Amino acid sequence: MNASARSTIIVLFSVISILFLFFKSCVIHNPKPDECEVVSTKVISIREGSTFDIQFKTDTDNVYYINRGLEQGLNLDSLNAKVLNKTVTLHLPILTFGPSTHIAQLAVDNNIIFTEFEN
């Protein structure tokens, strides 16, 4: 194998490795409280998103979501009664480039409404 072919293989392997690590860092799996940014914000609307997600729009025009929240047994009417127009505390997993908009935990007045954290 000549030097040019060897260099090409090394560069290709490096690019694939970097892409793998980048995409792996964007996957949220089993978040932990110390790996999250905690945000307090007021929820002004709640709606169903794509793939059974539940989306929360805040008074700062940010949108956060509970991944497949409807499949996990959450109910839009119940959430509207509990969190609409209230200040909530959100735990947002921190990824390589900052916090995500994925909600790992949602609480109102220290009452946990939803959590992905293991006990």
**How many independent structural domains does the chain possess?**
1
- Condensed to tens digits (0 to 9), the pLDDT of residues 38-89 reads 999 999 999 999 899 999 999 999 999 999 999 999 999 999 999 999 999 9
| Entry field: residues in the chain | 119
Between residues 9 and 82, which one has the greater pLDDT? Answer: 82
Mean pLDDT confidence for 83-107: 93
Taking only the tens place, the pLDDT of each residue in 26-42 is 566 678 899 999 999 99
In a domain, 2, yes or no: no
Is 77 among the domain residues?
Answer: yes
Q: Within a domain: residue 7?
A: no
| Structural domain includes residue 38 | yes
Residue 49: exposed, middle, or buried by beta-carbon count in 10 A (0-12, 13-18, 19+)? middle
CATH code for the domain of 42:
2.40.50.140
What is the value of pTM for the model shown? 0.78
Q: How far apart are CA 102 and CA 98, in angstroms?
A: 12
Q: How far apart are CA 90 and CA 69, in angstroms?
A: 15
Q: In angstroms, rounded to a whole number, what is the distance separating the alpha carbons of residues 102 and 110?
A: 19
DSSP one-letter code for 32? -
